[in-house]
A and B are shown apart, each in its own frame.
Chain A
Amino acid sequence: MKKTNVLAVCSGGGHLEQMLCIKEAFGEVKKLSLCTTIELSERDLSSFSRVYLVPDCNRDQVFNVMKCFLKIVKIIILERPKVIVTTGAAPGLLAIVVGRLFNVKTIWIDSVANAERLSLSGKLAGKLAHLWLTQWPHLEKKNGPFYWGNVL
């Protein structure tokens, strides 16, 4: 029996679209929750047991980063996921930081939009995530990030 409880974390826009592209990967889990920065359509909502909204943030907005961080801590305490998977951006990195503090398995999937180099969050995620992935084969390195395919 599958006991895994997964928390998916992503910013809106392309990050969310990419998470929805891979949702079959979570097909067998016991519970799948989503933490994102924009409201979902009815159709997309049905893919998740619970959807949490967090404030969007980026590296230039210290106050938003802190707000987002605190909300993510609350969500992880509430959900107690076994695995956190993120397609970025900054909120996803925060989730990985918190995930490591709570002994959760963490997966960073760098955006397919980063075809030439990893984002800053992607580079930082490499130091923390259990699984560190890029979606472009030419960006793969010996110690990560690894290329396991992409959403295209």
Chain B
Amino acid sequence: MIFLTVGTQLPFDRLVEEMDQVITEIGGDVVAQVGRSEYKPANFKLNSKLSREKFEEVFIEADVIVSHAGMGTILTALRLKKPLVIFPRLQKFNEHRNDHQLATASNMKRYSNIYIATNKDELISCISSACNKPMTREIELLNRSGFIKKLKLFIENA
């Protein structure tokens, strides 16, 4: 099962439409959370919202997650150690205020469970890689504990 999520704040019709075409080609089940996106796919049903509990449940159950390059989804994939294909939103299509999702995607390349796609063919190839490659390396969050230590000290002395 593929879990498609576009985040909680903005619609992302282009991704929903590309995924519809992907499923026409490769088949498979999709659970989709699409927010206020308007495109109606032929191949799968839509949810505009999922509760955080349901979101987490579907996330864990999925073979692979396909999403916009939103930090919430990325951090969740790192936390739950799930393969994630990210599809950056672009300003030129009014999908976001700026192109920071392209920078995000580029910064996430170092994680072995994260793949980047920008069109239907790349989605197909990334989904296939994600489903077939086992998660071999532990995900190392190298900066987090130092960050927390510094914040803790500041707050204690505030």
Contact = CB atoms under 8 A, between A and B. Distances in A.
Interface in A113-148: 113-116, 131, 135, 148
Chain B CB within 10 Å, residue with most, of A107, A115, A135: A115
A82 interface: yes
A82 B101 CA distance: 34
Contact of B52 (A29, A40, A107): A40
A35 interface: no
B83 interface: no
Interface stretch (B16-24, B71-79, B118-126, B130-138): B71-79
Interface in B63-116: 70-76, 78, 100-101, 103-104, 106-107
A151 B79 CA distance: 11
A39 B154 contact: no
Interface residues of B, number: 36
Contacts, number: 110
A34 interface: no
A24 B148 contact: yes
Contact of A29 (B72, B78, B107, B155): B155
Given A28-B156, A113-B100, A151 B107 contact: no
Interface string A23-39: 01111110000000011
A12 B151 CA distance: 21
Contacts of A25: 148-149, 151-152, 155
A interface residue count range (under 10 / 10 to 19 / 20 to 34 / 35 or more): 35 or more
Nearest to B102: A116
A29 B157 CA distance: 11
Interface string B4-39: 000111000000000000000000000000000000
Interface in A87-132: 105, 107, 111-116, 131
Interface string A55-71: 01000000000000000
A150 interface: yes
22 contacts: A2-B156, A4-B158, A6-B155, A12-B9, A13-B71, A14-B71, A14-B72, A17-B75, A18-B71, A21-B144, A22-B147, A26-B155, A105-B158, A111-B71, A113-B71, A113-B100, A114-B100, A115-B100, A115-B104, A131-B154, A149-B146, A152-B141
Interface of A: 2, 4, 6, 11-18, 21-22, 24-29, 38-42, 44, 56, 82-83, 85, 105, 107, 111-116, 131, 135, 148-152
Given A18-B75, A21-B75, 5 more contacts: A2-B156, A22-B147, A85-B155, A116-B103, A152-B143
Interface of B: 7-9, 51-53, 56, 70-76, 78, 100-101, 103-104, 106-107, 141-144, 146-152, 154-156, 158
